[in-house]
Amino acid sequence: MKPRLRFAPSPTGYLHIGGARTALFNWLFARRHGGTFVLRIEDTDQERSTPQSLQAILDGLTWLGIDWDEGPGKDGRHGPYFQMKKLDRYGQLAQQLIDAGWAYRDYSTEDELSAARKAFAAEKGLKEGDDLRSAGFKFTSPWRDKNQTLEKPALIRFKMPRREGRFGFDDLVLGRIEKPYDDFDDFVLLRSDGVPLYNFGCVVDDHDMAITHVGRGQEHINSTFPQLMIYEAFGWEPPRFAHIPLILGQDKEKLSKRRHPEADVMKHKENGILPHALLNFIARLGWSHGNDETFTREQLIEKFDFEHVGKANGVWNPGKLVALNQHWIKNTEPLEVAMQLLPYLQATGVPEAAVDAKLELGVRAFAERSTTLVEMAEKLKPYYVKGVTIDGAAAAKHLTPEGKALLQKAREELAKLTDWTTAALDPIVKTVADANGAKVGAVAQPIRVAATGNTVSPGIGVTLELLGRDETFHRLDAALR
């Protein structure tokens, strides 16, 4: 049987890096085994769900190259893929549970609940701000065994069986996990407005969508237990679960929107990170394959498994992400990098830039010198504008009378060239140095400063080819004046 996996975000914000990794692991597993990857939208929190968030999540996944076989924009046989579109289904199933004695209508009001809380607090002698849960507050609805249907709104609670002992499941990454039955209260299945809560909607949908494996964050371990009870009540076979460790910020706190800008997937796009580099990085954060560090998309699909997902939380390491980014900048076809780079370059103020031979040459020259696409764009920009401002210190050091004399000689040699290529340009430096009894550096640096305004650039040959013949002479002559 081909596996079916899903990613089920709630559209209440941008695509979080932890969510992206969860999506990636599920996607990799589905792809590896020729299965199906489903994208389901859990939009039952109407307070917080927004269309913008949905779009942001879709955009984030698309940017990362994580595609889905069923879900928004991809209808399948197991839809609808938005929970708010199947309220009737949840209602019918909840009624089924009531009929079977696994659930009941609860007409308790908020007032009654808070009265119970107050009574509990008074009995225990707790103060206003104290956490009732810590003190062991439990609420048992008086409607639990009444089995009544009244003409007023009710929420539907699951009736946890009063059992001794423990129950649990075999987690794909954590192994056996168990809890005592009496750890759980009757939990809410359906709100009084008929909208399902997470546990109920999740189980119904995973069943309806024939999900076989659920990879999700470890914060969901505890909700697995009530979900298991729902499966039992319906007599459904639960999927296999794989609880993935959390990603922590450098302060070792859970990655949060507020304190950790890196939690937003699209922030990395903005920072000039290649989508595949980010993919490689988050894959390695929590999963490993021996001593391997870099993986192509195909290798990731070929090697991924839940058994090698680690059990401990991981700390975000921006330095390693950047190192991986540089690795992929260097190890991706220059044409491909050029296409990714273009928008960043244009954004620096050179809208006329295009994916052409010049840009590809630029990528080849700067791949080893750039850690991000933003950095590469900034470094390439001077090759797209007319003229250059020469750095004072650089001029003072290299455009001395002696420097200028050598620069003049070099200019004369360059003028003789018919072929303006790196291969033809490179030897000029040594030729001029030899002819004048100077060191190569004494020739190269004045040229570099005159041509780029600075002491740092790729080799003289590529630098001048990138600049082009006309612009090179324009800048050299300006420096010689």
Partner RNA sequence: GGCCCUGUCGUCUAGUGGCCUAGGACGGUGCCCUCUCACGGCAUAAACCCGGGUUCGAAUCCCGGCAGGGUCACCA
Residues 124-143 that bind RNA (CB under 7 A): 133-134, 136
Residue from 98, 121, 126, 177 in contact with RNA (CB under 7 A): 177
User: Catalytic: which of 74, 118, 257, 311?
Assistant: 257
Residues with Cβ < 8 Å from 137, sequence gap 6 or more? 117, 120
Does residue 280 interact with RNA by CB under 7 A?
Answer: no
Does residue 362 interact with RNA by CB under 7 A?
Answer: no
Residue from 193, 298, 352, 419 in contact with RNA (CB under 7 A): 193
Residues 1-20 that bind RNA (CB under 7 A): 8-10
Nearest to 206 by CA among 100, 308, 81: 81
In whole angstroms, how close is the CB of 200 to RNA at the nearest point? 8
CB nearer RNA, residue 128 or residue 352: 128
Q: Which stretch binds RNA (CB under 7 A): 24-32, 54-62, 65-73, 454-462?
A: 454-462
CB nearer RNA, residue 145 or residue 434: 434
Q: Is the link from the previous residue into 153 a cis peptide, with omega within 30 of 0?
A: no
Does residue 464 interact with RNA by CB under 7 A?
Answer: no
Residues 229-258: x/- map of binding to RNA (CB under 7 A)? ----------------xx-x---xxx----
Residues 28-57 that bind RNA (CB under 7 A): 42, 44-45, 48
CB nearer RNA, residue 286 or residue 403: 286
CB nearer RNA, residue 129 or residue 235: 129
How many residues lie near RNA (CB under 7 A)?
83
Q: Which two tokens stand for residue 101?
A: 């004695």
Does residue 118 interact with RNA by CB under 7 A?
Answer: no
The question of whether 267 is a catalytic residue gets the answer: no
In whole angstroms, how close is the CB of 176 to RNA at the nearest point? 7
Cβ–Cβ under 8 Å, residues 401 and 442 = no
CB nearer RNA, residue 10 or residue 332: 10
Residues 79-108 that bind RNA (CB under 7 A): 108
CB nearer RNA, residue 117 or residue 346: 117
Cβ burial, residue 262 (10 Å; 0-12/13-18/19+): middle
Other C-beta atoms within 10 Å of 180: how many? 13
In whole angstroms, how close is the CB of 30 to RNA at the nearest point? 20
Cβ–Cβ under 8 Å, residues 372 and 366 = no
Residue from 191, 297, 381, 404 in contact with RNA (CB under 7 A): 191
Residues 410-449 that bind RNA (CB under 7 A): 426, 429, 439-441, 444-445, 448
Q: Which stretch binds RNA (CB under 7 A): 22-30, 56-64, 87-95, 312-320?
A: 312-320
CB nearer RNA, residue 323 or residue 354: 323
Question: Residues with catalytic annotation?
Answer: 257
